[in-house]
Structure 1
Amino acid sequence: MGVLISNDAELDTLISDRDIEAAVAATLAHEGVERPVEVSVSFVDDEEMRGLNSTWRQIDAPTDVLSFECDSPFDEDIPQGESVELGDVILAPGVIAHQAPEFDATPAEECRLMLVHGLLHLLGYDHLDDEEAAAMEAREEEILRALASERGEDPDTVRIGPTTRHHGER
């Protein structure tokens, strides 16, 4: 697994590089990804995120996370030993930190959630209807609980709000 972390604006990323790599590894493991993958995680300021959201989703406002898929690790046409370019997860820590209190979360907790949320999008999850949203949210909570255990924290303290129903679609 390769994780490229970009933070050209030198923003407060809210979580450490180690947390980012752990979240990627846990998400891939929980989804049964056994082949080598490469993923990019970028942190951008609110204005850059607004531009990306406007360009790609026609929503002229910053959002917390965007995901851009490349290849699927489950694509049987890609030779098994070959590394797969999973895609890009782009996070706006300013937006994330601002919205965290609304969901009774710390900025770090909200950032971990948004990272896992974005990674699940790269792996084919979506939340276009209530059933898909419930499945995605259950998977997010399962992964975040596993990560809490790895950090030596009580997994029962992990609570996530309705991630697919925050103000502004994710």
Structure 2
Amino acid sequence: MAIRKVDFFCGAFLSYLITNRVEPTLFEAGEKSKMLRFTIAQHDYKVFLKYSATPKESIKSKKENTKWDVIFTSKEMDLLKDYPEEGRKNVVVLVCTDPKMKNTSFVALDYNDAKACLGDDSINKQRRISISHIKNSPKISVYGTAISDKKAFQYDFNCDKYFGFIEKI
């Protein structure tokens, strides 16, 4: 029996949470995405998890840049419409890695920012969220089908800060 990539990446994220003493619950499993619930320090989270294992390397302003595009299917877009759950922090986690899965990072986005990047049906049938990281930068740029890279959201590259495992500076 072969393990699907999404199961591998979900397992990596579950391991990350368990290592930080969090007990997650997997409650929805799709072909290319997963949904989880967990609690950290009195904050209840609901996470929609996707991945990209095809980084694109480039040079931007004389610095090495890596970009991942995470494509969302029509079914996943439908799931996201009814996704938010009252009383929880609704989050989209993107697992960004390389084909050999040697360098893997978790990017946690607020649900509303992820939805803004994806846009609505008037934009395009194929939706994506793009993550751009300049080597050694503590920040990432997040944009997508409906948000240009010029208006990208800025997030800490370290997912530990998002979930409060280390203090935000």
TM-score (norm 2): 0.30
Larger relative helix fraction: 1
- Ranked by relative contact order (alpha carbons within 8 Å, sequence separation 6 or more), the top structure is 1
